Amino acid sequence: MSESRATGERPAVDETVVRVEHLTKVFGRRAREAADRLASGASRDDVAKLGTAAVIDASFEVRRGEIFVVMGLSGSGKSTLIRMLNGLLDATSGTVEIEGERVTGVDPKRLRAVRRSQVSMVFQHFALLPHRTVLENVAYGLEIQGVERARRLELARDVVRRVGLEGWEQRLPSELSGGMQQRVGIARALCADTPVLLMDEAFSALDPLIRREMQEQLVELQAELGKTIVFITHDLNEAMFLGDRIAVMRDGRIVQIGTPEEILTDPANDYVAQFVQDVDRTRVLTAASVMEPPAAAVPVTVGPRGALRTMRDMQISGLLVTGTGRKVLGAVKDRDVLRAIQRGVADLGSLVDTSVPTVAPDTSLSDLPEIAITSGMPIAVVGEDGRLLGVIPRVLLLAALGNVSTDTSEFAVVDMPPAIDPLLVTQTLDATEVPDAR
Ligand SMILES: Nc1ncnc2c1ncn2[C@@H]1O[C@H](COP(=O)(O)OP(=O)(O)OP(=O)(O)O)[C@@H](O)[C@H]1O
């Protein structure tokens, strides 16, 4: 996984590369009339006699370096939308701009120039030239641009290596597996060196394992090359994995645009909610999205008695202990602390189990269960500086994995019930009390 993803950072996102405003496409002889009616509030069904409204009033912006996913069921208008982005289809109304240049309503010559310099497309069925070698296929875009042969083959060789096809340069597409053919498709698009890549169901024809591999590679390539990518898919898990933001389409309209997490945790309507109910949450949600405020943590300075009192009051059996700057030192268990108090130990730091699991806030939920099960302790979510940001109690984690609402504050209490009798705790605290304690 790329560094930027691994650290949860988003690419620089302040620059609009693709700007789509009120874009509508109606297929049919009376398309214009249908578009006007749609603009004044008519529904898709209302205009059905005039034509098929494939895309209705779509507006969005894609920022530099972003992977913007358009997702929706078959027939929702995704392909029509993406084909208007590079002028393969004319818009009935509305505008598309790429890098500030109009794609809609321009003459064919101008359109070709924009296409050549700004957008490349990767198709589902690879669309490779069957009688040309891998290298020649990859270099094809440059050939059209008039780049001289030696130079274009040199550039193509570099891209072939980047997509992991070194050694296959002289083969024909028919000698390659589906996954490899699609790598050629991607290499060809990358080789054209346009800032924008359009990918239409680019991985849908691939086996699941290869598909996953390609998704991961795309994210890596994107981080490395900083391309702006519009990716179309009907696969929700793919959308969630790839998308910095996702636009959900239904019946030609964009019904929600948001980050995967926003779409998942705050769906705009019942349609989106239903759509996302089967998504594999563990791949989307992160430690930060399910952690709780670190209530079950005490500074080491409270001493063993302070820690035991807190555990008794919160009815839990373990606590995280922090040092200076709220750095996590480790965890203590009620039983150990009780015994230590009985032995007269005064330093909480000496009781701390430093093997407590800590994770970064952007750790994927799918990586957490193993940690939770093997440690038996709540997981500490810590920032880069080691500072405690939150706690993931084990039951909360199970709830999140089970698609149950993660708003489960009451679960935190039952997560690690006291291992010892509260009465014994109180008696021990009373018996060892010294006037200046606490
Ligand atoms: N050339 C065309 N002529 C007439 N109608 C079309 C044409 N292309 C698409 N449509 C219609 O426009 C609507 C949207 O189709 P589109 O292919 O954009 O959807 P999609 O979300 O990409 O679906 P899929 O995933 O099946 O490709 C559909 O009702 C489709 O039948």
Ligand 1 lining (C-beta closer than 6 Å):
27, 52, 54, 72, 74-80, 234
| Nearest Cα to Cα of residue 75 among 229, 201, 234 | 234
- 3-state SS, residue 89: coil
CA angle 264, 270, 291 (to 5 degrees): 25
Residue-level length of the chain: 438
Give Cα separations from 174 to 31, 103, 184, 312 (angstroms).
41, 35, 12, 69
The domain covering 288-431 belongs, at the CATH homologous superfamily level, to CBS-domain (3.10.580.10)
**E-only strand ranges, 1-40:** 16-27
Ligand 1 pocket test, candidate residues 70, 71, 78, most atoms within 8 A of CB: 78
- Which of 8, 1, 2, 4 has the alpha carbon at shortest distance from 383? 8
Residue 49 to residue 60: CA distance in whole angstroms:
28
Tokens at residue 162, please?
Answer: 């980047």
| pLDDT the model gives residue 409 | 35
Give rounded-to-5 percent helix, strand, coil for the chain: 40, 20, 35
Distance CA 188, CA 133 (A): 12
**Per-position b or e across 240-270, b if 16+ CB within 10 A of its CB:** bbbbbbbbbbbbbbbbbbbbbeebbbebeee
Note the pLDDT of residue 266.
Answer: 86
Nearest atom (ligand 1) to Cα of 83 = 18
- Asked if 115 and 86 count as a contact pair (C-beta separation under 8 A), the reply is yes
pLDDT tens string, the chain, 438 residues long: the values are 333 433 444 444 459 999 999 999 999 989 999 999 998 888 899 999 999 999 999 999 999 999 999 999 888 999 999 999 999 899 999 999 999 999 998 998 988 888 888 898 888 776 788 899 999 999 988 888 888 999 989 999 998 988 888 899 999 999 988 888 888 988 888 888 889 999 998 888 877 777 888 888 888 888 888 899 999 998 888 898 899 999 999 999 999 999 988 898 888 998 888 888 777 777 777 788 778 777 778 999 999 999 999 888 888 888 889 998 889 999 898 899 999 999 999 899 999 998 888 888 888 877 777 666 666 667 888 988 888 988 886 655 565 555 544 443 333 333 456 677 878 888 888 887 765 444
Name the CATH architecture for the domain at 3-279. 3-Layer(aba) Sandwich (3.40)
Pairing outcome for strands 16-27 and 52-63 = antiparallel
**DSSP 8-state secondary structure symbol assigned to residue 8:** T
The answer to whether the beta carbons of residues 87 and 103 sit under 8 Å apart is: yes
Contact 12, 65 (CB under 8 A): yes
The Cα 80–Cα 125 span in angstroms is 17
Distance 54 CA to ligand 1 centre (A): 6
- Predicted confidence at residue 399, as pLDDT, reads 58
What is the model's pLDDT at position 135? Answer: 93
* Complex ipTM: 0.96
- Residue 137's region, left for phi above 0, alpha for psi from -120 to 50, else beta, is alpha
User: Are residues 111 and 97 in contact, defined by beta-carbon separation less than 8 angstroms?
Assistant: no
Report the half-sphere exposure of 170 (CA within 13 A, side-chain side): 1
| Identity of the amino acid at 103 | V
Query: In DSSP terms, which residues pair with 297 in a beta bridge?
Result: 320
Tell me the C-alpha distance between 438 and 428, whole Å. Answer: 14
Q: Whose CA is nearest to atom 10 of ligand 1?
A: 54
Please give the pLDDT value at position 437.
45
Cα distances (angstroms) measured from residue 166 to each of 109, 169, 171: 36, 7, 11
DSSP for residue 11: P
Distance CA 180, CA 249 (A): 30
Distance from the alpha carbon of residue 263 to the mean position of ligand 1, in angstroms: 24
Atom of ligand 1 nearest to the CA of 77: 18
> Any residues with CB less than 8 A from the CB of 287 and at least 6 apart, and which?
359, 360, 361, 362, 363, 365, 368, 379, 381, 390, 392
Tokens standing for residue 143: 């050939």
Between the CA of 52 and the centroid of ligand 1 the distance, in Å, is 9
250 C-alpha to ligand 1 centroid (Å): 12
Pocket test for ligand 1, best of 38, 52, 255 (most atoms within 8 A of CB): 52
Distance CA 390, CA 370 (A): 19
Read off the pTM.
Answer: 0.70
Chain centroid to CA 120: how far?
A: 23
User: Domain segments of the chain: what residues?
Assistant: 3-279, 288-431
For ligand 1, the distance from its centroid to the CA atom of residue 17, given in whole angstroms, is 25
Ligand 1 atom closest to the CA of 252, numbered from 1: 14
CA of 270 to the centre of ligand 1 (A): 24
Q: What is the dihedral of CA 45, 46, 48, 50, to 10 degrees?
A: -160
Decide: 345 and 322 in contact? Cβ < 8 Å.
Answer: no
